[in-house]
Amino acid sequence: MTKSRLAVLGLTSLLLTATACAAGTDATTVPVGPKLSKVLFAGDSIAVGEALPLSAAFKAGGVDFQSIAAEGGGNVVGPAAEENWPAISAQITSAKADVVIYQLTTYDWGTEQEQRTGYQNLLDVTTRAGSKLVLVTAPPIRPDDFYLPHMADLDRTPAVARAVAQTAPDNATFLDASSAWGTTYQQTRDGKADRSADGIHTCPQGAARFTNWLLGELAKRPGGFTPADPGSWANTGWSADRHFQGC
C-alpha cells in the first residue's frame, strides 16, 4: 500500500462528519433550476492533482466531469496565455458544461489589467457557451526563487477575479477557498501530509478535503446537485496516482 494511499484512509470519517454538519445547517433548502449534469474544471498543475478526487466524487454523484487543467499554467493569464488561450476557449465552447470552474493559478501573473482582461475573456467565452463560471482561489504556496518575483501579482489575483465575477452575478461566482486551505501554506494537517513538500502542490488528504469543500459550495447553488457520500469516492484508488509522489 502506497504512502499516499495511507494518507487518505483516515479521511472518509472526517469527510462524512463535515458533510453531515453541512447538511444539518441547511436541511430545508431545496435546490431549484436545471439539474447539474456536467462540470468542466480548469487550472494548472495544482488543479491536475485535485481533478483526481473531483472526478471520482462527481462520478459518484452522477455528474459528468471533464478536466482541462494543465501542467505549467491555466493559460488564461500569464506567460503562455496568448499562445494557448485559443485552444482553451475552444475546449470551453465544445464542452457544453453547465458549470466551468477555473482555479486561479500560480502562473496568473501580469499587470492588474492583464489579469482583468484574462478573467473577463474567460467569463465572456463561458457565457457564450451557455455555461456558468466559478472562479475559485488557489491554495497558498511557499514560494521558491521561481515564484518570488511574481508574488505581488499572484497576491492580487483573488481581488481581480472577484471584481470580474461581480460584474456578472447571474453568470459568475467567486469562491474563496481559504476555509479549505487556510491563509498560509501548511505542509501537514491532522498529523498527515496535506501539501507537497515542494511548497506548491497538494497531497491526497488536501485534495480530498478541497473536493468535499467545493462540492459543498456547489450544492448551495441552484441546480439540483447533491454531493455523493464521501465514502463512495474518498478511497477509490485515485490517491495512488503518480501526481502525489511528492507527498
**CATH number of the CATH domain containing 134:** 3.40.50.1110
Name the amino acid, one letter, at 202.
T
Grid cell of 213 as nine digits: 469543500
Terminal-to-terminal C-alpha distance of the chain: 14
Instruction: Determine phi and psi for 190, rounding to 5 degrees.
Output: 55, 30
Instruction: Find where cell 476557449 sits.
Output: 89
Per-residue model confidence (pLDDT) at position 27: 29
Pairing of strands 192-193, 188-189: antiparallel
Closest to 48 measured CA to CA, from 165, 138, 127, 145: 138
Task: Report H helices in 10-139.
Answer: 11-25, 45-60, 81-95, 112-128
What is the tally of structural domains in the chain?
1
Per-residue model confidence (pLDDT) at position 19: 39
Per-residue model confidence (pLDDT) at position 30: 35
Per-residue model confidence (pLDDT) at position 224: 75
Cα angle 70-71-77, degrees, rounded to a multiple of 5 = 65
Per-residue model confidence (pLDDT) at position 85: 94
The mean pLDDT of 144-153, rounded to a whole number, is 96
Enter the pTM of the model.
Answer: 0.89
Q: The domain containing residue 45 runs over which residues?
A: 3-244
| Rounded Cα–Cα distance for residues 215 and 174 (Å) | 14
